[in-house]
Amino acid sequence: MSPAPSPSSATVDGPVIVLDDVVAVLGQFPALAGAFLTVERGEIVLLRGPNGAGKTTLLRLCAGLLPVERGTATILGFDLSTQRELVRPHVGLLGHQNGLYLDLSVRENVNFWGRTVGASTDEIHAAMARMGVAERLADIPCRKLSAGQKRRTSLACLVARRAQVWLLDEPHAGLDATGRDELDATLAQAAGSGATILVASHELERAGNLATRSVEVIAGQVTALGDKK
């Protein structure tokens, strides 16, 4: 099998995410019914909408976990209909779970995810430092971390495996005020470094302050585009 292009090779000049009249189906139910969305590199876009509107489906589609039934969707120039396997290495999805091995330490988790893409020890340490888990938390088993510390560890894993598109589903859920502030600072810093971030959240005020743009998802359709800040 030929290896997938390395994440660093997946750089495009145009928009990072382009959805054009995309339809996705969950079972028999059309969970996305004609979504239009264009996201540029370094943007943080807030997806807002009621429960069941299709926000999580939109994130899962962008992660390459759901097939595109109709329309055109590209991530980093890769077509989601035909190149889902090539999209996945460049995308990180952080949902209600963190994707961590709870018996392993922070360092071991970040090391594992980084090594899967051939990251060096320096890169892995830099990813931990960037998310603030390189010092006193590094050797603590993830089972013993607070919810906010787990989130930061999970984000460090995304950085270590060089994910360029971050898809975050309710990232503030379960965090205390300090954890939320830390997370916001982390996301702003990541976007400043070139990560493209889609955030689905009910915390409109907080996520709205963080986002460069907001998009409304209702009944599987992206119905309103917010203004850029």
Partner 1 sequence: MSTWKVACLIAAKDLRVERRSKIVTNQVLPFAGITMVSFAFALDKQNVLDTVAPGLIWLATTFSLLILVQRSFSIETDDGALDAMRVAGIDARAIFLGKAMALAVQLLVLEILLLFAAVVFYGESIQSSGAQGPVLAVVLLVTTLVSATCGLAAVGTLYGGLAAGFKGSETLLPLLTLPAVAPVLIGATKAVESAVGTAGAVVSEGWQWVGLLAVFAVAFGIGGALAFGPLIDE
For binding to partner 1 (CB under 8 A), which residues are involved? 1, 3-4, 63-65, 85-89, 91-93, 95-104, 108, 112-113, 115-118, 141-142, 150, 157, 161, 163
**Least CB distance to partner 1 at residue 153 (A):** 10
Long-range Cβ contact pairs of 75-78 (< 8 A, separation 24 or more)? 75/16, 75/17, 75/165, 76/10, 76/11, 76/12, 76/16, 76/164, 76/165, 77/10, 77/12, 77/14, 78/10
Phi, psi (deg, nearest 5) at residue 149: -65, -35
**Least CB distance to partner 1 at residue 108 (A):** 7
Q: Which is nearer to partner 1, 88 or 202 (CB)?
A: 88
Q: Which ranges of the chain would DSSP assign to H, the alpha helix?
A: 55-62, 84-87, 106-115, 121-130, 147-160, 177-192, 204-210
Q: Which is nearer to partner 1, 56 or 214 (CB)?
A: 56
Q: Which is nearer to partner 1, 36 or 112 (CB)?
A: 112
Q: Which residue has the tokens 């290495």?
A: 89
Could you tell me if 137 and 153 are in contact, meaning their C-beta atoms sit under 8 angstroms apart? yes
**Least CB distance to partner 1 at residue 102 (A):** 6
**Least CB distance to partner 1 at residue 62 (A):** 10
| Cβ count near 42 (within 10 Å) | 15
**Least CB distance to partner 1 at residue 224 (A):** 28
- According to DSSP, the residues that pair with 48 across neighbouring strands are 216
Q: Which is nearer to partner 1, 1 or 177 (CB)?
A: 1
Q: Which is nearer to partner 1, 49 or 89 (CB)?
A: 89
